[in-house]
A = this chain, B = another copy of it.
Amino acid sequence: MLPQFRVSQEEAINVSGDDLRATAAAIFEKLGVPPEDAQVGADVLVLADLRGVDSHGVSNMLRSYVNGYTSGQINPRPNMKIVRETPATASIDSDRGLGVITAPKAMEIAIRKAKEVGVGMVTLGNARHLGMASYHAMMALQHDMIGVCMTSCPPRTLPTFGAEPRLGTNPIAVAVPAKNDHPFVFDAATSSVAQNKIEIARRLGAKLEPGWLATADGTPIMEEMEVPEIYHMLPMGATRELGSHKGYGLSCVVDILAGVLTGFGYGAVPGRPNFGHYVAAYSIAGFDDPEHFKTNMDEWLHMMKSTRPAPGHDRVLVAGQPEAEMEVIRREEGIPLHPEVVQWIQDTCGELSVECRF
């Protein structure tokens, strides 16, 4: 079984998405972020919470964003500049703006380009943390487009056979619309597990799975254990025998497209607090009739979900399905927050003299 990352039902305090969004937006605004940008940033965080991606929601990320704005590492009013452009591409200097807020703007540019020429592809250099990658990819859905998002993160992850981290968790997100079914939404780190999940496991005292981490000298840890004091992340696949060269290679692809290609460095150079991002939109109408495509996606999703399960399993899931199911529940019941998180938000609101809605 996977570690239980989520806060237990008994101790959780349920907060509505609207209240959490309004409160997070008020905090962003008080830190110098323009009102419209503050709304976007809060929306990205809260959608992660609503979809059950707690690792990238308010409880796990807002604190580091507050620290980043307060310390000056994140620029609340970045002057985003397009430094290169063609009909299908753009390269943006994001002036140390938070990716949570700048990536949606870059994705809007990509969508506009895809409307004009079929594909839009935009890199963001000189950037800060992205938030949930699939948020930006999913912006393409309402335009009958496929959305893609990647981010080159500061190094935490070992190359296969390596003892020094050279790559970030470097996630890839791809969102594809369907007609009546939920969209296909893939969003995963190319490391064996998202960095945020390790820290949540540490906070909750949960056990790690074999193949998630390596010891300080680079040896993969292949037994269940608590999060060690010093560790490195492993690429997806854990060991060469289990295919870690594929996870490592895909992580390199992300480091190149969302890092080197920006012209502003990559995960390891200049490193923290720098990030690089990549967003793209592919217009389905450039390849097929969108209605035909979306009907086929419904069929394709049904085929995948109706697969006969292997012994010990109830059903076969498809990417985006657990998140879509969770979103229905949490829009109804609210987002379960740990009391310590609620306390931190209330304290922060108190310090910043902004209204906490809960």
Interface residues, chain A, CB within 8 Å of chain B?
2, 84-91, 114, 116-119, 121, 123, 146, 158-164, 166, 172, 174, 176, 184, 186, 188-190, 192-193, 209-211, 214, 217-219, 236-238, 240-243, 245-250, 252-253, 255-257, 260-263, 266, 268-269, 282-289, 292-293, 296-297, 299-300, 303-304, 307-311, 313, 315-319
| Complex Cα–Cα for A249 and B188 (A) | 9
| Complex Cα–Cα for A114 and B87 (A) | 10
- Cβ contact of A217, chosen from B262, B304, B311, cutoff 8 A: B311
User: How many identical chains are in the complex?
Assistant: 2
Say whether B286 contacts A263, CB under 8 Å: no
Among A123, A249, A285, find the residue whose CB has the most chain B CB atoms closer than 10 A. A249
Say whether B88 contacts A119, CB under 8 Å: yes
Say whether A309 contacts B161, CB under 8 Å: yes
Say whether B304 contacts A292, CB under 8 Å: no
17 residue pairs A–B, Cβ–Cβ below 8 Å: A84-B285, A88-B88, A89-B282, A90-B286, A118-B121, A161-B313, A161-B317, A172-B250, A176-B260, A184-B256, A188-B250, A236-B236, A237-B237, A238-B242, A252-B304, A262-B288, A263-B289
- Cβ contact of A89, chosen from B217, B248, B283, B317, cutoff 8 A: B283
